[in-house]
């Protein structure tokens, strides 16, 4: 009688192993698909934000800082600058938080570097705006130099966005 139970036991054990293995594989494939979907969503959100920010930089800051006359305002008024203290210009990046870590290397590092550079450029823009508002003749020459440096910083930021956007769009 023991012989009759052994084949049934072997078939049941093999079925359990195959079922467990297929469940494991299905679960692994589902996790991989979910991870790829999350990567694409994170990349898409960052592409949208970086594209919008680079457009604003190109239209608002590069054009505004092309000459020191534009910064100082030939009409005696300071030009309109859109960078405001206390405003979050990077809500997508801040909202994603640790999710950028799921992106393949070196994208997380490059993203943090790009956004950190943007913060520094915006801080410099606010500083230039404050200097321009004062209309102090003694600082006019330094404002012109700072304006050119700021324009170059924004130009480098725009240039660095191209490979970053390309890397994100490949995901």
Per-residue pLDDT reduced to its tens digit, 56-91: 888 877 765 554 445 454 444 444 454 555 678 899
> How many whole angstroms separate alpha carbon 97 and alpha carbon 42?
10
DSSP, res 105: T
CA distances from 87 to 16, 105, 119, 125 (A): 58, 30, 11, 14
Structure tokens at 88: 């979050």
pLDDT surpasses 80 at 115: yes
Asked whether residue 154 carries a pLDDT value surpassing 50, the answer given is yes
For residue 34, pLDDT beyond 70: yes
Which residues, including other chains, have CB under 8 Å from residue 150's CB and lie 6 or more apart? 61, 65, 121, 124, 125, 128
The values of phi and psi at residue 100, to 5°, are: -70, -15
Q: Where are the domains of the chain?
A: 40-169
Most confident listed range (97-106, 131-140, 146-155): 97-106
Nearest C-alpha neighbor of 169 from the set 45, 33, 38: 45
pLDDT of 89-103, one tens digit each?
Answer: 899 999 998 899 999
């Amino acid at each position: 009688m023991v012989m009759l139970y052994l084949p049934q036991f072997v078939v049941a054990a093999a079925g359990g192993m195959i079922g467990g293995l297929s469940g494991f594989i299905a679960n692994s494939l589902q996790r991989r698909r979910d991870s790829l979907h999350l990567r694409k969503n994170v990349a898409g959100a960052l592409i949208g934000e970086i594209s919008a920010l680079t457009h604003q930089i190109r239209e608002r800051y590069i054009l505004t800082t092309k000459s020191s006359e534009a910064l100082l305002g030939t009409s005696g008024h300071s030009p309109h600058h859109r960078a405001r203290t206390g405003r979050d210009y990077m809500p997508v990046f801040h909202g994603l938080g640790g999710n950028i870590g799921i992106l393949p290397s070196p994208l997380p590092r490059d993203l943090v570097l790009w956004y950190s550079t943007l913060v520094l450029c915006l801080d410099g823009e606010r500083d230039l705006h404050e200097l321009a508002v004062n209309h102090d003749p003694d600082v006019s020459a330094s404002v012109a130099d700072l304006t050119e440096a700021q324009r170059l910083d924004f130009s480098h930021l725009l240039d660095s966005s191209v490979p970053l956007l390309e890397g994100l769009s490949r995901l």
